[in-house]
Structure formats: structure tokens, C-alpha cells
């Protein structure tokens, strides 16, 4: 299914590449959240496992883990904060439509869903500092 944004009379229209980037971040939300929790609960490898590395590379697994957690947390927080701005009756259906391409329910018009979806994606990009 094609996924595009309405550009006519839409003050929340994003540049094409930024729109795609934000859509794919939302589609990847579940995996990102699982990876975040797995990384949060993981332990760094033992010294014997890293001693086989050769070269002048100095490993700092704690720093790498902290950086990854920080970046993942920023992405997750951006999506979650933007989702709060969507009214409760549209929130789940818009989120599922972006992630799984499920059809919208019938209790509101398509244009209403598209308007809230565009606002949601705009705020995700804004929370990430991309606009």
C-alpha cells in the first residue's frame, strides 16, 4: 500500500526524505523498544572474550552501551511524546496503521485519520530535532 502525505493546504507537510525517515522510525518502534530493554538488561562480555582482539583498538563496552541506550531512548521518547498529543479515540488506530498497515476503523472519516497521522509524524520529527 502506498503511504504518502497530503501536501495541499497542509502546514504539517514534511520534506519527502524526512517523512520517510519518520515513518520508518515509527514502523520500527516495536523492535527498537525490545532492543532497548534487551540492551538495558544485558551485561558486557567477559574480559577473556575480548582478549582475543588484536590491534590498537581500546574497547569501552560501557560507553558504547550508554551511547546506544541514549540514542535509542531519544527515538523512543520522541515517538511516545508525539503519540500523547493524539486524541485517545484515534491513537491506537493511527499507530497500528503506520506500523502494520491495518485499515482505519469506520467511526471517523479517512480525512480525519490522515490529518491526525500527519500531525503525529510532524511532532515525531519535531521531537527528534529534525525540523
The string of pLDDT tens digits covering residues 42-59 is 876 665 555 555 666 677
- Distance of alpha carbon 27 from the chain centroid: 7
Average pLDDT on 91-101 reads: 93
**Residue-level pLDDT at 51:** 56
**Residue-level pLDDT at 52:** 56
Average pLDDT on 3-18 reads: 83
Whole-prediction pTM = 0.84
Cβ neighbour number for residue 103 with a 10 Å cutoff: 11
* Complete DSSP assignment for 57-117: PPP-HHHHHHHHHHHHHHHHHHHHHHHHTS-HHHHHHHHHHHHH-PPPPTTS-HHHHHHHH
- pLDDT over threshold 80, residue 23: yes
Residue 107 CA to residue 85 CA, distance in Å, equals 20
The counts of H helices and E strands in the chain are 6, 0
- pLDDT over threshold 70, residue 36: yes
Give residue-wise pLDDT tens across range 66-88. Answer: 999 999 999 999 999 999 999 99
Cα four-point dihedral sign 45, 46, 47, 53: negative
Amino acid at each position: 500500500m502506498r503511504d504518502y502525505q497530503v501536501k495541499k493546504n497542509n502546514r504539517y507537510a514534511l520534506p519527502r526524505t524526512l517523512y520517510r525517515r519518520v515513518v520508518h522510525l515509527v514502523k520500527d518502534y516495536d523492535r527498537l523498544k525490545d532492543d532497548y530493554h534487551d540492551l538495558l538488561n544485558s551485561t558486557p562480555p567477559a574480559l577473556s572474550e575480548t582478549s582475543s582482539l588484536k590491534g590498537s583498538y581500546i574497547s569501552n563496552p560501557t560507553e558504547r552501551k550508554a551511547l546506544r541506550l541514549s540514542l535509542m531512548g531519544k527515538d523512543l521518547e520522541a515517538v511516545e511524546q508525539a503519540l500523547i498529543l493524539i486524541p485517545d479515540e484515534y491513537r491506537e488506530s493511527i499507530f497500528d496503521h503506520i506500523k502494520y498497515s491495518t485499515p482505519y476503523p469506520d467511526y471517523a472519516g479517512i480525512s480525519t485519520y490522515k490529518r491526525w497521522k500527519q500531525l503525529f509524524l510532524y511532532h515525531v520529527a519535531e521531537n527528534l530535532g529534525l525540523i
